[in-house]
Structure 1
Amino acid sequence: MSSPPYTPALRTGDWIAVSGQVPLRDGTFLTDRPFGEQVDAVLANVSDRLAEHGAGLGDVVKTTVFLTDMSDYSVLNERWVAAFAEPRPSRSCVAVAGLPFDVRVEVEAWAVAPAD
């Protein structure tokens, strides 16, 4: 797989913007896995992108979730609660007709960068 035509995570000032992450681990899309495992992989990817800038999931303040099937919403919420401690980041969840590579979920995030 070639490099994407965008920056996966970018720090600007006190902010880290994480581009939409999908259920991709070790170069393989997890589209054949149960939806909960796909969400776990997406959140692990968000965490990995944040770690590249010295941050973690606890630094996230805003997320946007894209789902191709809103019937997955309850599983998303279960995995979300397991991944994010209180207070959880604000979140928007949008139903979409499709996502790249036929994945079912994508998450983008904004985090406050830790002090240097």
Structure 2
Amino acid sequence: MAEFKTVYTKDAAYPAGPYSQAIATPSTIYCSGQIPCDAAGTLLTLETSSITKMTELCINNLSAVLKAAGSDISRVVKVNVFLTSMDHFAEMNATYEKFFTHKPARSCVAVYQLPKGVPVEIECIALA
């Protein structure tokens, strides 16, 4: 019997590379980073959207992946947020705190670039 399973759901953006949306173990779910791309493949950009909407979409994707793995956002214990500019921190943070009311551990770092040129990516670890 496998010690882990790969998780895919049609309700979140399909992976843009050779990885799964998440790996579920008997006790923990490791979600891959989610960018602001919906399940249909529509990518939000700063030209067409806001950091608020992009953050919401990233977290909604994580929620869908967690649901497919048998968990939910309330069981998240660690979040990593990647921003291409800390100028977006306050707006991202204001949106983030609406979803993660239980205040899981978190890191937020500025990075040079993210896949497909997006300004935000969010990944998490949750209890199964």
Scaled by the length of structure 1, what TM-score is found? 0.91
Deviation at 1:88, TM superposition (A): 1.2
Identity of aligned residues (%): 38
Higher RCO, 1 vs 2 (CA within 8 Å, ≥6 residues apart): 1
Which residue number in structure 2 is paired with residue 49 of structure 1?
65
**CA gap 1:2/1:52 in 2 versus in 1, 3 angstroms:** closer
Q: Deviations over 1:50-91 (max 9, x none)?
A: 011111110100010100010110011110111112x21110
Task: Map 1:31-110 to 2 at 5 A.
Answer: 31=45, 32-85=48-101, 87-110=102-125
**CA gap 1:95/1:83 in 2 versus in 1, 3 angstroms:** same
Deviation at 1:11, TM superposition (A): 0.3
Do residues 10 (structure 1) and 10 (structure 2) align? no
State how far apart, in whole Å, the 1-side matches of 2:55 and 2:82 are: 11
Deviation at 1:2, TM superposition (A): 7.7
RMSD, matched Cα: 1.4
Ranges of 4+ aligned residues in structure 1 off by more than 4 Å: none
State how far apart, in whole Å, the 2-side matches of 1:42 and 1:29 are: 11
Which residue number in structure 1 is paired with residue 32 of structure 2?
19
Give unpaired runs (5+ residues) of structure 2.
Answer: 1-13
Give unpaired runs (5+ residues) of structure 1.
Answer: none
State how far apart, in whole Å, the 1-side matches of 2:55 and 2:115 are: 16
